[in-house]
Structure 1
Amino acid sequence: MDISTGSTTSLRKTQTDWIILVLTGLAILVRLWGIGQHSFWFDEAREVLRSLTPWPDVLFVTDGADPPIYRLLLFPIAQLTVNEFWLRLPSALFSGGAVYLSYIWLAKQKLPTIGLLTALFMAVSSVQIYYAQEVSQYSFVVFLALLLLISFAQVRRRGAVADWVMLTVAIIVSLYSYYGLAWLLPILDLHLMWQLWQRKDRGQYGRFFTAHLIIGLSIVVLYFTQLNIHINRFSTNKGLEPLFVDPGWLASVRQFDNYLLDGFISFFTVPFSSVPGQWMPLIFLVVTAVGSIYLCRNNKKTCHLTLYFWATVAILFFVRFIGIYPIGQRYALAVLPLFFMLLAAAVISLKRWPVAAYALGIFLVSVQLFFWPQMAQVNPWLALPRESLRPAVAYLNEQAQPDDLVYVYYGAEPAYRVYQNDSPLETTYGTWFRQLPTPEKLAEIQQAINSAPRFWMAMSHIHQQEDAELIQALATGTPSYLVVDQFEAENAAVFLFVRAP
């Protein structure tokens, strides 16, 4: 052995280890930048309220459509504080941890350079940073997806008892955290079965059977405790009519490219944006295709990584086609690391032309930087789903009189309950009446305020122009109410109404 060569390899590994640690640290810092500045929006507030459920009832909350593990991670924090920073902190840490895991996963595939570049893309990913600053399970989903990829790779590579235990635990935790992770499992499991078949190792067959028996029993428990309820609620709320019914199977297959661009590529690269045309996602789609070809042509042993992405996308399309699960966007975040891996592979494919490789890499990073949520003030194409009810509620509390009533618009209820959990003001929460005609909406408000001389209406998560609609209806109703004071923030407001003489 050449001692100098060994020393050089060790030095490079040490340098790479430091680079990935620094990159992970910087990724976490970026995710902490401004994490507590914005209020909880509708979905976040609902998650916070679920986490405030007393023990042990929090174990069995079926409101919403997700299993319990993420909620249990939030539970101890929620008992101490409902501060935005602390409740969003787990999301930021999981998102930063995913940067590190993405490198570890690909380094185990003997692709350290692609792994390092994938980690860079994960670090600057606009969609990753957005969900790192939200009380939601989506950063945890990406983290768990990488944990599954690593666990399956470790079993294929070595297959020790500890590896099988890790894989079993990773799968159960994933299924008990987010149902969407299940669609990543078929292709990973098939690849594992194929390799075990090639090895003809009976000991591994026994471990495979034992692991899947335990996983199967855990799914049975999950089904009878929560999954059966979630299936009914989820299918009803999302209106998942099979695509082979409407618009029909042939038309749906023809639209697969649109589903891919809108549901996957656009959301992974320019989320919550209104970029004119589809030129941006088309560029990323071409880069993804180049990366796919490179991984298969450069090394046949890594071609399965390309298959992981495209097969999982096909599975997600199929389950939407038959009406089981929504397609794309946040529901497809489990394949995000695979997507960035393909982008990284495309950049590495240009290594013979360093200028082109650097240019492509800089372009891919720059696009992500421009769509960071922190850039919302300067990016004209970015429209984040945020709702600033906290300052509106603070204004209401400063201006309200002891005898004032508060009517809470249905979309504001979750966040209002979080921010006003001990308010002395008499409060009525409105029903979800967006489907009703205006006279019926007015009748509900009038019944709630009972001809009071003055009342406040708190609003967020406002549907279309419903705020203007309700203000006009109250002004023309009997009795008539006019707005005499108001505070408006981002997608949120409070209005003080006084009865007209």
Structure 2
Amino acid sequence: MTISTGNSTSRQKTQFGWFIFVLTALAILVRLWGIGEHSYWFDEAREVVRSLTPWPDVLFVTDGADPPVYRLLLFPIAQLTVNEFWLRLPSALFSGGAVYLSYAWLARQKLPTVGLITALFMAVSSVQIYYAQEVSQYSFVVFLALLLLASFDQVGRRGTVRDWIVLTAVIIVSLYSYYGLAWLLPVLDLHLLWRLWQRKERVQYGRFLITHLIIGLSIALLYFTQLAIHMNRFSTNKGLEPLFVNPGWLASIQQFDTQFLDGFISFFTFPFSSLPWRWMPLFFLLVTAVGSIHLCRNNQKTCHLTVYFWGAVLILFFVRFIGIYPIGQRYALAVLPLFFMLMAAGVDYLRKWPVIAYALGILLVGVQLFFWPQLAQLNPWLSLPRESLRPAVAYLNEQAQPDDVVYVYYGAGPAYKVYQGNSPLETIYGTWFRNLPTPEKVSEIHQAVNDAPRFWLAMSHIYQREDEELVQALAEASPGYIVVDQYEAENAAVFLFVRAP
């Protein structure tokens, strides 16, 4: 069987046109379902706090490890409201837009059927829906990855001045939005250079050089303003020791299959889960392998799409191998559309056996549905990083007395600042004391509250059983404090302590 081209492709694009618009609209609606119900968790709250930085200081925030574009998109919204719905809305829209873009890009490759199936997978993707309901750049990353793929393809097809300007702008926006998008560029750039060489148009070589000069200058500016700081903080926080040092050359290469299955396949298909069945990611890998072969064997003009995915994966493994960037999971989301494209090609290969093709498609969609974040309470294997500090803070405000002191546990700091920015209560934000012995933690809390007769301990992003540890240690210390009131929610709590007589 060959991948359809020519007039049949045009007819398919016309037939699929209405469906892709409906699918995109439904994808956005799914992403809006329950988008404002859960509180900000630690990472989200940190992004909100950064977006609340006054202008023009927000341009130069170096807290964290990401460049500024996404933060600037949130900035006007954050000046009006910190409501979860509105600050998560851009993520939902970018995620929904990626559904349409995935189809449009592949339809331009004369693969409308593969594009439609890819768009379907993107629409129901559990990892896409999760990040569509989070204040983070990850939905934007997938959207930009598709813009990069489409922009490089457009230059390779036509190469007008406008095409080159669009490509330059998309690359710069991508690099100033998320550093992980950079690992897509080498394979896309090499393929573009090959296409330009085949066309043998000198003017295109000049445009190629000018584009890369502009991009190089933008990277230099980014390096001296933010990237150097981010690289130092990122490598320190993530402990990115080169793999050729530990565990060594041979051992790290032998670990590649495990890192690929866990960091790419499992995270792309059933994220934040603890499934015990190793055959499931292997099954998805098999489908992806079939799709890879299908794109290359049946139509050599589309084989570069297979090279895009596997080339980017190898680049990601290499940069982790030398210790400059993590591998897999959210750090690899730039290759997510390519992964779903290969899965879609695997289903497309089976079209000559319609029953099997439909059964496989339904199975792949069903797995995604089962891991939707909205259905987390029904899935015993799904554990999302959720923290419900908002209702805990509301309870604190209802019960607190004017003279009460609030000690904010270090993990709750960002979210507490968002939900309680103008609190009249005396508030102390604790330091990151995770690695301290328990007596030193208690000593810090005692000094912070200055032996107040009563104080509140606000907690979220709780490390292991640290809430129970602190409650018990404060009761046993001198002076001792006992809990007289408390409110507990998902990975969040507030405790009212009164000094023991």
Is the structural similarity TM-score above 0.5?
yes
Give the superposition deviation at 1:212: 0.6
Gaps of 5+ in 2: 1-5
CA–CA distance in 1 between the matches of 2:193 and 2:13? 32
Partner of 1:29: 29
Does the C-alpha gap of structure 1 residues 143 and 9 become closer, same or farther in structure 2, counting only changes over 3 Å?
closer
State the identity as a percent: 82
Deviation at 1:249, TM superposition (A): 0.8
In the superposition, the TM-score normalised over structure 2's length comes to: 0.98
Q: Which amino acid aligns with 1:334?
A: A
Per-residue deviation at 1:12? 4.7
CA distance in 2, matches of 1:72, 1:322: 32
Contact kept? 2:13, 2:107, Cα under 8 Å: no
Q: 1:101 matched to which residue of 2?
A: 101
* Deviation readout 1:392-433 (Å, 9 max, x if unpaired): 000000000011100000000000000000000000000000
Partner of 2:430: 430
User: 2: CA distance between counterparts of 1:339 and 1:421?
Assistant: 42
Number of the residue aligned with 1:81: 81
Offset, 1:196: 1.1
Measured in 2, the distance between the counterparts of 1:468 and 1:244 equals 40
For residues 198 and 29 of structure 1, the distance between their equivalents in structure 2, rounded to whole angstroms, comes to: 44
Confirm or deny: 8 A CA contact 2:272 2:384 kept in the other structure.
yes
Question: Which residue of structure 2 aligns with residue 252 of structure 1?
Answer: 252
**2:43 paired with 1:50:** no
- In the TM superposition, what are the counterparts of 1:238-277 in structure 2 within 5 Å? 238-277=238-277
Structure 2 distance, partners of 1:356, 1:31, is: 30
Aligned mates of 1:438, 1:8 — CA distance in 2: 70
Deviations for 1:29-67, whole angstroms, at most 9, x for unmatched residues? 000000000000000000000000000000000000000
Q: CA deviation at 1:439?
A: 0.8
Deviation of 1:8 (Å): 8.9
- Give a deviation string over 1:109-131, Cα, whole Å, max 9, x none: 01011000000000000000000
| Counterpart secondary structure, 2:378 | coil
5+ unaligned residues in a row in structure 1: which ranges? 1-5
- Aligned match of 1:159: 159
Q: Is the partner of 1:22 in helix, strand or coil? A: helix
- Computed over aligned residues only, the root mean square deviation of the Cα atoms, in angstroms, reads 1.1
What residue in structure 1 maps to residue 228 of structure 2? 228
Q: Which amino acid in the other structure matches residue 273 of structure 2?
A: S
Q: What CA distance in whole angstroms lies between the structure 1 residues aligned with 2:295 and 2:95? A: 26
Q: Tell me, what secondary structure is at the counterpart of 1:301?
A: helix
Q: Answer with 352-361 or 271-280: which moved more.
A: 271-280
User: Partners of 1:310 and 1:11 in 2: how far apart?
Assistant: 31
1:180: which partner in 2? 180
* More moved, 422-431 vs 194-203: 194-203
User: How far, CA to CA, are the matches of 1:7 and 1:282 in structure 2?
Assistant: 37
Q: What's the offset of the Cα at 1:15?
A: 3.0
Distance 2:194 2:203 in 1: 15
> The residue matched to 1:488 in structure 2 has which SS?
strand
Residues 140-219 of structure 1 aligned to structure 2 (within 5 Å): 140-219=140-219
- Calculate the TM-score normalised by the size of structure 1: 0.98
1:3 aligns to what? Answer: none
> Which residue does 2:138 correspond to in 1?
138
2:225 maps to a residue whose letter is T
Once structures 1 and 2 are overlaid, which stretch shifts more, 197-206 or 416-425? 197-206
Counterpart CA distance in 2 for 1:165 and 1:108 is 20
Cα distance in 2 between the residues matched to 1:450 and 1:351: 72
**DSSP-derived class of the 1:305 partner:** helix
Q: Deviations over 1:51-93 (max 9, x none)?
A: 0000000000000000000000000000000000000000000
Query: Secondary structure of 1:457's match?
Result: strand
Q: Using the TM superposition, give the Cα deviation of residue 14 of structure 1 relative to its aligned residue in structure 2, in angstroms.
A: 3.4
**Matched length:** 496
